[in-house]
Structure 1
Amino acid sequence: MKAKKQTRFSFIAAVHLFLIQNDQVLLLQRANTGYEDGNWSVIAGHLDGNEEVRAAMQREAREEAGIDIALPDLQVVGVMHRKAEEERIDFFLTAHTWRGSITNCEPEKCSALQWYPLAALPSNTIPYVRKALENYREGRWFDSFGW
Structure 2
Amino acid sequence: MKKERYTLPAAVHLFLLRGDEILLLRRYNTGYEDGNYSVPAGHLDGGEEVKSAAIREAREETGIEIAPEDLRVVGVMHRKSLDERIDFFLAAEKWTGSIVNAEPDKCDELRWAHTGELPDNVIPYVRQAIANFQNNQWFDSFGWN
Which TM-score applies when normalising by structure 2?
0.99
Q: Say which of 50, 74, 77 aligns to 1:77.
A: 74
Query: Unpaired segments of 5 or more residues in structure 2?
Result: none
Q: Say which of 81, 98, 102 aligns to 2:99.
A: 102
Give 1 or 2 for the bigger CA radius of gyration: 1
Displacement of 1:5 in angstroms is 1.2
Deviation digits for residues 96-145 of structure 1, max 9, x if unmatched?
Answer: 00000001000000000000000000000000000000000000000000
2:45 equivalent to 1:30: no
Counting aligned pairs with the same residue, the percent is 62
Displacement of 1:85 in angstroms is 1.1
- Three-state SS of the structure 2 residue aligned to 1:134 is helix
Deviation digits for residues 10-60 of structure 1, max 9, x if unmatched?
Answer: 010000000000200000000000000000000000000000000000000
Deviation digits for residues 74-104 of structure 1, max 9, x if unmatched?
Answer: 1000000000111100000000000000010
d(CA) in 1 for partners of 2:10, 2:128? 18
Amino acid at match of 2:66: I
Regions of 4+ moved over 2 Å: none
Which TM-score applies when normalising by structure 1?
0.97
Write the mapping of 1:1-147 to structure 2, written as runs, cut at 5 A: 4-147=1-144
Task: Count matched residues.
Answer: 144
RMSD (Å) for aligned C-alpha atoms:
0.4
Query: Unpaired segments of 5 or more residues in structure 1?
Result: none
